[in-house]
Structure 1
Amino acid sequence: MQLPPPRGPLTAWLNDRLTHSDTTSGDVPEVGVRELPYADDDLQLALWVAYELQYRGFDGVDAERQWDSAVIAFRTRLERPWIDWLQATCGVSPDQRPVAEQLRALIDSADSTDGPRFAPYLRRHATREQFREFVLNRSVYQLKEADPHSFGIPRLEGAAKAALVEIEADEYGGGRPERMHSELFRTTMRWLGLDDTYGRYVPDVPAVTLALSNVMSLFAIHCRWTGALLGHLAALEMTSTLPNRQYATGAIRLGASEDQARYFTEHVEADAVHEQIAAHDLCGNYVRQHPDALPDVLFGAHCALTLDNLFADTLLTSWTTPPARRCG
């Protein structure tokens, strides 16, 4: 994968740092305070590039740059406004109920106006081009599906660890490469005429799409956020079944075969089971082992719900807002 073209001074500095063998670069740009960091293209792309060094890296970038102290310090500066906004927007005060009940209550009461409209729109109204845009955006994460949450495995023990491994094993196809969820998603991409190369559409997607991936990587890379990583996964699993059923219906309406829609139908079946494992066996056991982690678990879940709704709002607005009239 090539480094994506910069979108501003942050990504320009980072790309320069990563590609110069003498490790020299110009003055580090000021990150500043951003009111809506999830919508900041330069910030989110710079974070995505910095995090990707922990996954597959980039062509022409020395693998040792993963540990470049200047890059790590820069990433830390990028994270500060991002974490501040997430905590201010998605912080949750826990109560005495079991964590599974609190997760369900959080999902049921999430301040969401566009998330619930998104899946029905794709099922009933989306054109093939709109469905293609949806899949293109989702490819940024889905082609490495489960990888961020797998960072949590070595940090867990006992029943919580077993639960996470059970979920992740299904995501990776249970030992069958062709059943890996990322591979099923590639089949859907090819149906829509999309390039299924890993990271291909990073240069084309808006900041909020990168933010969906970046919040997972933030929680994955930092041990401090292990509880949030588990809560994030639980929220994904607990809100997956109904939307994916509607995505499958929409894909078939637009001409997809059973195989081409299998990514969505697979999640209808798998996540109905994963929901219970994630809420009770994973988060429930983890909080029993680490009672102080409950606020982080709920925080991670709320981050997942909030960013997914912002992503839905971005696409729905672009699809349903009439173009501005020209004057004269």
Structure 2
Amino acid sequence: MKIPEPRGPVSSGVLGLLSGRPGAEPAAQAHLHELVTAQMRDIGDIIEDDDLQLALFCLYELHYGGLDGVDDLWEWNPGLLGIRQLLEAPFEKALRSAAHRCAPQTSLPPAETLSSDDVAAILFELAARDSGPSVSRFIARKASVEHLREFLIHKSMYQLKEADPHTWAIPRLAGRAKAALVEIQADEYGGGRPDRMHSAMFARTMRGLGLEDQFGAYVDAVPAISLASVNMMSLFGLNRRLRGAIAGHLAIYEMTSSRPNQLYGQGFRRLGFGAEVTAYFDEHVEADAVHEQIAGRDLAGGLVEAQPDLLADVLFGATAVLAIDGRLSSLVTDAWDNGRSSLGTAVPAGL
């Protein structure tokens, strides 16, 4: 990914550190550690803090495709991992607080008594209660081409590497849950056909609207909440202790995907875009209707059957999705309803 523009002292410090050689600047690394520690004392809402979300996003990207010109040895640098953990702790705390507001309304039976079908039913009930502002309905009924481009830019921060954060969980699961995740991921990666990978299909959609399809091309344009949505997946996927959360995340993601993607496809067709552009959305209408059953019953449900103590984390992952994506939807629809861009100040050319 290209190096983004810093959004404050912490992201500036992280990017400055990454521009050098690992281990060559111990004083700079120590200074950054102190800076982050100081920032954490006065932290407000980390979920919508541009500086801290960008810093965390860049640190996570070291574990994916990397950053342009940054030495790969930074990925497992102990000092840098320590800085990442300083950022992760308040982020996870904020996610748990936000997720708590979307938790099941009634008390649940003991996890040891729940079958995989019971777990799936709980997750489906959570998905059915998701009634926040709807970007998909806006797009289906009244979005302009400019709105569609903004929508794709927000989504590109995950969709151009779709499935990768969830793949971290494969070696951390076993049995039924592991098999279910591999089955879902095989579809996400195109069943062995590069052109059918969902990330490749989304890239074609972006090109169809005249947008850059390189991952991170629009990192400077998206607000903190868009970065937080992706950082949440990386937090869950990269920490083994949160394997239940990434399972719950994927389950609710699949359960709340099919109908919105149907509406997205309708909106793009309403504005004259053809099958090459809508194929990504049309694929998800069919695929996610199957994936939601596998993810709910076999992945999340199978995991809880095997390890009942992970139920709380499965629900945490699921409710965190509803909370954070709800906030992102509110930001986008509020901007559009009031005739504003939902992007940041660095608006891409042509929008």
TM-score of Structure 1 vs Structure 2, range by shorter chain: over 0.9
Does structure 2 conserve the Cα–Cα contact (< 8 Å) formed by 1:189 and 1:195? yes
Is 1:10 the counterpart of 2:30? The answer is no
- 2:238 and 2:339 map into 1 onto residues whose CA distance is 41
Paired position in structure 2 for 1:200: 217
Does structure 1 conserve the Cα–Cα contact (< 8 Å) formed by 2:99 and 2:322? no
Q: Which sits farther off after the overlay, 91-100 or 158-167?
A: 91-100
Task: Give CA-to-partner distance per residue, 1:225-280, whole Å, 9 cap, x none.
Answer: 00000000001100000000000000111121112100000000000000100000
Paired position in structure 2 for 1:300: 317
- Using the TM superposition, give the Cα deviation of residue 104 of structure 1 relative to its aligned residue in structure 2, in angstroms: 1.3
Aligned residues: 320
- 1:245 and 1:315 map into 2 onto residues whose CA distance is 19
- 1:264 and 1:187 map into 2 onto residues whose CA distance is 12
- Identical columns (%): 46
3-state SS of paired residue (1:208): helix
Instruction: Specify which of 34, 43, 47 is matched with residue 38 of structure 1.
Output: 47
- 1:14 and 1:322 map into 2 onto residues whose CA distance is 35
Does structure 2 conserve the Cα–Cα contact (< 8 Å) formed by 1:159 and 1:282? yes
- Using the TM superposition, give the Cα deviation of residue 322 of structure 1 relative to its aligned residue in structure 2, in angstroms: 5.1
Paired position in structure 1 for 2:25: 23
Paired position in structure 2 for 1:139: 156
- Using the TM superposition, give the Cα deviation of residue 320 of structure 1 relative to its aligned residue in structure 2, in angstroms: 0.9
Paired position in structure 2 for 1:256: 273
Paired position in structure 1 for 2:180: 163
Paired position in structure 2 for 1:229: 246
Aligned counterparts, 1:1-328, within 5 A: 1-21=1-21, 22-24=24-26, 25=28, 27-28=31-32, 29=35, 30-32=38-40, 33-91=42-100, 92=103, 95-96=108-109, 98-110=118-130, 112-114=131-133, 117-321=134-338
Does structure 2 conserve the Cα–Cα contact (< 8 Å) formed by 1:238 and 1:275? yes
Which amino acid counterpart does residue 335 of structure 2 have in structure 1?
A: S
- Using the TM superposition, give the Cα deviation of residue 87 of structure 1 relative to its aligned residue in structure 2, in angstroms: 1.1
- 2:237 and 2:208 map into 1 onto residues whose CA distance is 31
Does structure 2 conserve the Cα–Cα contact (< 8 Å) formed by 1:227 and 1:294? yes
3-state SS of paired residue (1:35): coil
3-state SS of paired residue (1:195): coil
Q: Which sections of structure 1, spanning at least 5 residues, go unmatched?
A: 324-328
Does structure 2 conserve the Cα–Cα contact (< 8 Å) formed by 1:143 and 1:183? yes
- 2:197 and 2:59 map into 1 onto residues whose CA distance is 26
Does structure 1 conserve the Cα–Cα contact (< 8 Å) formed by 2:208 and 2:276? no
Which amino acid counterpart does residue 168 of structure 1 have in structure 2?
A: Q
Does structure 2 conserve the Cα–Cα contact (< 8 Å) formed by 1:140 and 1:202? yes
Which amino acid counterpart does residue 23 of structure 1 have in structure 2?
A: E
Which amino acid counterpart does residue 220 of structure 2 have in structure 1?
A: P
- C-alpha change, 1:322 and 1:249, in structure 2 (3 Å) is closer
Does structure 1 conserve the Cα–Cα contact (< 8 Å) formed by 2:177 and 2:302? yes
- 2:182 and 2:194 map into 1 onto residues whose CA distance is 17
Task: Give CA-to-partner distance per residue, 1:47-71, whole Å, 9 cap, x none.
Answer: 1001001111112111010111221
- 1:23 and 1:126 map into 2 onto residues whose CA distance is 49
Paired position in structure 1 for 2:344: none
Does structure 1 conserve the Cα–Cα contact (< 8 Å) formed by 2:255 and 2:292? yes
Task: Give CA-to-partner distance per residue, 1:275-311, whole Å, 9 cap, x none.
Answer: 1000001111100111000010011001111111111
Q: Which sections of structure 2, spanning at least 5 residues, go unmatched?
A: 341-351
- 2:147 and 2:231 map into 1 onto residues whose CA distance is 24
3-state SS of paired residue (1:132): helix
- Using the TM superposition, give the Cα deviation of residue 131 of structure 1 relative to its aligned residue in structure 2, in angstroms: 0.8
Does structure 2 conserve the Cα–Cα contact (< 8 Å) formed by 1:31 and 1:78? no
Q: Which sits farther off after the overlay, 21-30 or 258-267?
A: 21-30
Which amino acid counterpart does residue 164 of structure 1 have in structure 2?
A: L
When the two chains are superposed, the root-mean-square deviation of aligned CA atoms in Å is 1.4
Does structure 2 conserve the Cα–Cα contact (< 8 Å) formed by 1:31 and 1:77? no
